[in-house]
């Protein structure tokens, strides 16, 4: 007799890999196919240990800085988060062959920052201090050209050199709601502030947060599959909690599930950050299937069909 308790699982969609992450992983894999191992990668290509370990097994070597790489003709890949301008300059000076896996939507923010700087604007970057994307964006311009604002309190306290000559850009993986609040403060305090032509927070971050907002009020618990150093994954946990799901947990692998958190639940929401592969979602569903009699459905709140080209050096010529 089947004595397992019933559990309804609702999968948020979209979830998991975005186009920028997909492209970055492809760049490393195609480089390994074309040039053989090793392929050096500066910083985790995307913030997911499972992905990084899989690429290591194929011959990728991960470093934090270029000076850890010996003199080599092997390719060097820059991660999806983007790098300061000094990094490709350093790589060129060392005659390295490098491939830039920066997400095109991060590159868009870099270009915006440069345009604002060229127009003489003082720039505010809304983002998280120390995150590689923020380090990369601030590193596009001379030191002091960009001021970092992390919170509403920072925005209230910020004193520009010239309030009439201010522009802002944002990290691509922030909480949509938090960012809107910070932007609101800047616009109230500095009505002439210039914003991006198009939202800097990327489509994938926005879509994944929107899906969680819709599912979270209906479930007893929410699992976000992702890594603690993944900004967009951490934001999904916060969004779930704010949207009415008090039991919201970040889980990297099924082995990490704290089963005491999920005792007595009837409905579970599952999503995945933009750098988490679907294989890990499947692994977590399988783990719950061992404890519950599960039924699984999807809640689709948006369709994504965006894809980004890999660099020319890696493209297969048309036959």
Catalytic positions, written as ranges: 133
User: How far is residue 205's CA from residue 91's CA, in Å, rounded to a whole number?
Assistant: 31
256 contact partners, CB below 8 Å, separation of at least 6: none
Report how far residue 242's alpha carbon sits from residue 38's, in angstroms, rounded to the nearest whole number.
44
CA atoms within 13 A on the CB side of 24: 30
Radius of gyration in angstroms for the set of CA atoms belonging to the chain, rounded to a whole number: 21
Rounded (10°) CA dihedral 27, 50, 20, 137: -100
The tally of CA atoms less than 13 A away on the side-chain side of residue 39 is: 30
User: Can you read off the two tokens belonging to residue 263?
Assistant: 């005792």
């Amino acid at each position: 007799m089947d004595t397992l308790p019933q559990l309804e699982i609702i999968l948020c969609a979209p979830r998991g890999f975005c186009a920028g992450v997909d492209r970055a992983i492809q760049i490393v894999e195609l480089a390994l196919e074309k040039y053989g191992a090793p392929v050096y990668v500066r910083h985790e290509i995307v913030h997911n240990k499972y992905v990084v370990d899989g690429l290591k097994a194929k011959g990728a070597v991960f470093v934090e800085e270029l000076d850890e790489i010996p003199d080599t003709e092997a390719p060097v890949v820059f991660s999806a988060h983007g790098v300061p301008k000094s990094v490709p300059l350093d790589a060129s000076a060392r005659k390295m062959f490098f491939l830039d896996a920066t997400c095109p939507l991060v590159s868009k923010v870099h270009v915006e920052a440069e345009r604002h700087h060229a127009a003489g604007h003082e720039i505010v970057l809304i983002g998280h201090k120390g995150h590689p994307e923020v380090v990369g964006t601030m590193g596009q311009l001379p030191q002091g050209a960009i001021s970092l604002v992390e919170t509403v309190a920072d925005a209230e306290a910020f004193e520009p050199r010239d309030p009439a000559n201010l522009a802002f850009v944002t990290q691509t993986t922030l909480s949509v709601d938090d960012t809107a609040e910070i932007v609101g403060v800047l616009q109230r305090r500095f009505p002439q502030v210039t914003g991006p032509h198009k939202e800097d927070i990327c489509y994938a971050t926005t879509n994944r947060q929107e899906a969680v907002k819709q599912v979270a009020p209906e479930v007893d618990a929410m699992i976000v599959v992702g890594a603690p150093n993944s900004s967009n994954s951490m934001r999904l946990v916060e969004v779930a909690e704010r949207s009415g799901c008090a039991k919201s947990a970040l889980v990297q692998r099924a082995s990490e599930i704290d089963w005491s958190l999920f005792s007595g639940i009837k409905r579970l929401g599952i999503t995945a950050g933009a750098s988490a592969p679907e294989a890990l979602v499947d692994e977590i569903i399988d783990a719950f299937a061992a404890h519950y009699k599960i039924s699984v459905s999807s809640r689709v709140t948006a369709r994504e069909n965006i894809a980004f080209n890999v660099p020319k050096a890696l493209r297969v010529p048309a036959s």
